[in-house]
Each structure stands twice: as C-alpha cells, then as structure tokens.
Structure 1
Amino acid sequence: MTELVIFDLDGTLLDTIHDLGNSVNYALQKNGFPLHDIETYRYFVGNGITKLIERSLPDDQKNVEIIQRVRQDFMIHYIPHSEDLTRPYQGIPEVLYTLQQKGIQLAVASNKVQLATERVVNHFFPSVHFAAVLGQREGFPVKPDPSILLSIMEQTAVSKVNTLYVGDSGVDVLTAKHAGLSFVGVLWGFRPQSELEALGAVSFVHTPGEILHYIK
C-alpha cells in the first residue's frame, strides 16, 4: 500500500527551466562567457547547481575558482527571480491535493539548493502539506546518491515497499534504484523517455493524473 510519494522538483512538479537558464545566462554574461539558449539548459540541469554551472562554461574555463565565482553570481540572481517564469505543470496541484486527501504523505527531493527548494515549494504549493522538503544541503551528497530519499523515509517512518518516487530524469531513475524504490518517470519534464529507459525505467506517465494509477 502506498503511504508516501516523493517527488523530484524541477521538471516534475515545476517547469523551472526559464528562470534557471536566465539566471545562469546572467552569471555567464557578468563574467564574460558565452550564453546558451534556454532549451539547452534542459540537458545541463539535474545534478545540482555546481554541475549546472560547470556544464554551462567553456571547456577551457571549468576550474574550481571560475565555477565558484559564476555559481555565486547565479545564486545572487536566481533567489529573487526563482518565481518569475516558473509554474507548476498543468494538473500537478490537483494530483497533490488528491493524494493529500487520500492520506498519503508527500515529500520533495531535489538537487536544487535548500533555500531555493523551500522558497518555490512554499510559493507555488501553499495549500499542500509536505512531510519533508529537502534540497541540496551542505555536507550532504546530491542525487543519484540515495541519501536524500532514505532521509525522507526515515523522517516519515515509511518503508521502501510503501514508497513511490516520481521524477523526470536519468538521475532520478538511478536515485530510485540506489534507494530500492519503485519509480515512475514523467514525460513532460526536461529529459526524453529514451534517457530514462536506457537506465532501466519501465513505468511512465504522460499526464500528472496518470500518477494516481500507480498508487496501490
């Protein structure tokens, strides 16, 4: 019986790509580096902010000092602009409310920094009670390390067999595998179905409402 559903955030609950891309482009421009089309960022996101910045930089500029400087400029811009163009995917709020009404615990597990994760979740889902909202925190590994999922299950006192993880990327597939969880891949997110299938995903949904079919 499903007692807990853990959601990835970017590309699963929220379409954040424009605000992320705009903030990286701001930081790149400030530091004199070439910019990228917003669509390109779909393939840069997923492994945390530091990796996002690294992927956006020219190959000969990927040293620690430059990455940290551009990352800092990104954060200065992104936090106050993280809600400018970001929106929940159509149908997501209704699914969250339905799960909540069924008494199922909800949680968020993101590689977005903790401050930004909490900010956008609180802003876009003020009426949804999440048992846990975890982002990237200092001293904790990012997904696909399963620590974030294991921590949520510990906080909620729900076993693996009663937990479902929902995400949109290969990183999410691997995170679920490493945690020993059932996984459902969403096809409205940032990565193609082929990427998820290549890593072993077998269950997919085309619309948020279809997630309810996987609630046991």
Structure 2
Amino acid sequence: MYKYKLVIFDLDGTLINSVLDLAIATNYALQHYGHPQHPEDKYRYFVGNGVDMLLYRSLPDECKNDEWVKKMRQVMMPYYAAHCTDNTAPYPGIVDMLKTIEREGIKIAIASNKHQSATTPMVAHYFGDIDFVAALGQREGFPTKPNPTIVDDIIRIANVDRSRVLYVGDTAVDMQTAHNAGVSVVGVTWGFRPRTELEAEKPDFIVDTVDSLLHLILSK
C-alpha cells in the first residue's frame, strides 16, 4: 500500500510552464494603458497569488489600487483566454508521471490560484486524458492560497484522510498552503521560484526532478 492516497498539485510552475504567456498578456494590458512593461523573469515573482495580485504587482506604484486592477483585468483576461496556450506547455515528464500515478490507483487533483475560468480549459487542453478528482482554481467568493480552503475542499471531494495527502508546489505560497491545511508537502525546484524560497518554508521534501517526485509519491 502506498503512503499517499491523494496527491494535490499546484498548476503553474509545477505542472505547466506558463510564465511567458502570463507575462505577454499582462504586458499587453500594461501597454494598452500606457504603463511600463516588464521582462519575463520579473513575472516569476509577480505570479502565485491569483490574477488580481499579479496585476497589482505589475502596475506602477501610483496605480496600485483596486480601480486599476479592475481596469487591467478587463483587458488582460480576454487576451489571456485567447492566447494562454501559445507558449505554455507541461514540464518534461509531467504527463507520463501523472499517468503512472493514476495507473497505480493514487488519486490526483489540482489546486491553483489561477482563475477557475482559465484553470478548467487549460487542464482540459494539456491533461484531457487524466482523471483528476478535482481541478480547482481561484473561485469567486473563495479565498486564494495560502488559505487552505481549496485543499480542504479537495480532501472532502476525494474522501481521504488528511494524513495520506501530499501537496506538490513550487512557491512559498504552496508550502504555506500545505502547512495551513496540515498536509505533507514537497517543493519542486523546476518552477518559478528558487530553492532558497522553498527551503525557508521548511517543506517535508524538496525534489529537483520529475523522476524524484514520482519516486516519493510511490513510496510505501
């Protein structure tokens, strides 16, 4: 019997490399309003807390307010919806790993701060033949990670004991989410943030490769 009965994955930076498309879409909105744009690398630190925080972080200091975030959303979101798969792709080995986990009878789910309106089609596009017990994104009226609500909801849907859950993510927000939910957590170093950020949050494990992650998930 495997140690874990449910593995919950973050999406962006863990399963898929989406930072370039997010950067292009946000820069499109910034350009639309005449604001300075940012290089792709900066967006590795802008993302992770949902679309509103992404837009807030991208704005000039004098425009960091709810009104400007709302205006940016009106331009950025339709553009991103039309272009979210232009450059985005699963990290190498991810699809095969998910299929192996599924074949071994371990439940898998997604918990993302990406808005649900983008999470659902992107999961269908890249992982259409994977049977996730849930693929939840940022939902209106629900708190974003690191609040543990999204993990609690998935555990309830999957009907597994919290002690048999492993959370997988690439940022401090992910590590904090798992800690807040009281589940085991592993940080992956191929995502958007450096190893030092993960280490500071004291996850149970840190892995550098997809093979190492699969080995951990299939531990007994």
TM-score (normalised: structure 2) = 0.96
2:156 to 154, 157, 160: 154
Secondary structure at the counterpart of residue 136 of structure 2: strand
Query: 1:35 corresponds to which letter in structure 2?
Result: Q
Secondary structure at the counterpart of residue 167 of structure 2: strand
**Aligned residue pairs: how many?**
216
Query: 1:214 corresponds to which letter in structure 2?
Result: L
Give the conservation status (yes or no) of the 8 Å contact 1:91–1:207: no
Query: 1:75 corresponds to which letter in structure 2?
Result: M
Secondary structure at the counterpart of residue 142 of structure 1: coil
Is residue 106 of structure 2 the alignment partner of residue 104 of structure 1? Answer: yes
Ranges of 4+ aligned residues in structure 1 off by more than 3 Å: none
The Cα shift of 1:28 comes to 0.4
2:168 to 144, 166, 172: 166
RMSD value, Cα: 0.8
- Percent identity of the aligned residues? 50
Moved more, 205-214 or 117-126: 205-214
CA distance in 1, matches of 2:61, 2:20: 23
Query: 2:63 corresponds to which letter in structure 1?
Result: Q
TM-score (normalised: structure 1) = 0.98
CA distance in 1, matches of 2:65, 2:167: 34
The Cα shift of 1:213 comes to 2.2
Structure 2: 5+ residue stretches without partners: none
Query: 1:13 corresponds to which letter in structure 2?
Result: L
Structure 1: 5+ residue stretches without partners: none
Secondary structure at the counterpart of residue 11 of structure 2: coil
| Pairing of 1:86-97 with structure 2 (within 5 A) | 86-97=88-99
The Cα shift of 1:131 comes to 0.5
Secondary structure at the counterpart of residue 50 of structure 1: helix
